[in-house]
Amino acid sequence: MKESRNVESFSLDHTKVRAPYVRLAGRKVGPKGDVVTKFDIRFCQPNMEYMPTGGIHTLEHLMAEYVRDELDGVIDLSPMGCRTGFYLTVFGEQDEESVAARLRNVLSKVASWPDAEAVPGVDPVMCGNAADHDLAAAKKWATAWVAGIDRKGWSCF
Ligand SMILES: [Zn+2]
């Protein structure tokens, strides 16, 4: 196994975590004292399951739109390349429990998204792969995330 000197998630033992969860994955202080925190928002049990591209893409659009209504200081929400979750980067000292509570609101909204209602940004002008979306899959993963957090809590263990 090749070690990494630079990437936080490469030092996480992905065989020990229990998805879904919210985990603080990084904290940086800028030269002017601003704090930025980064969270690992996991949906799938690593190396057991993963989201198909259409589903994670639609989930990204819906979460990106609504997480900013719930949480102040959102810098970025991006899917992980392994397609088992997202990284959420925010300004300020935010904690896992409150981020999980805000995300639960966002994902409850996604889970009950009306099938007939357009997903924000699904358009060749606003999206780089507007053909690759799957609302049913996004709703399924959102529902599973909320149910999992309600059952086991937000912790990764
Ligand atoms: Zn897109």
**Separation of CA 25 and ligand 1 centre (Å):** 25
Q: For residues 66 and 34, what is the distance between their CA atoms, to the nearest angstrom?
A: 24
How buried is residue 32: exposed, middle or buried, by Cβ count under 10 Å (0-12/13-18/19+)?
A: exposed
Tell me how far the alpha carbon of residue 60 lies from the centroid of ligand 1, in angstroms. 8
pLDDT digits (tens, 9 = 90+) for 50-88: 999 999 999 999 999 999 999 999 999 999 999 999 999
| Predicted TM-score (pTM) of this structure | 0.93
How many C-alpha atoms does 132 have within 13 Å on its Cβ side?
10
3-state secondary structure of 55: helix
Distance 93 CA to ligand 1 centre (A): 29
- pLDDT confidence of residue 74: 97
Query: What are 10-41's pLDDT values in tens digits?
Result: 788 898 999 999 999 999 999 999 999 999 99
Task: Tell me how long the chain is.
Answer: 157
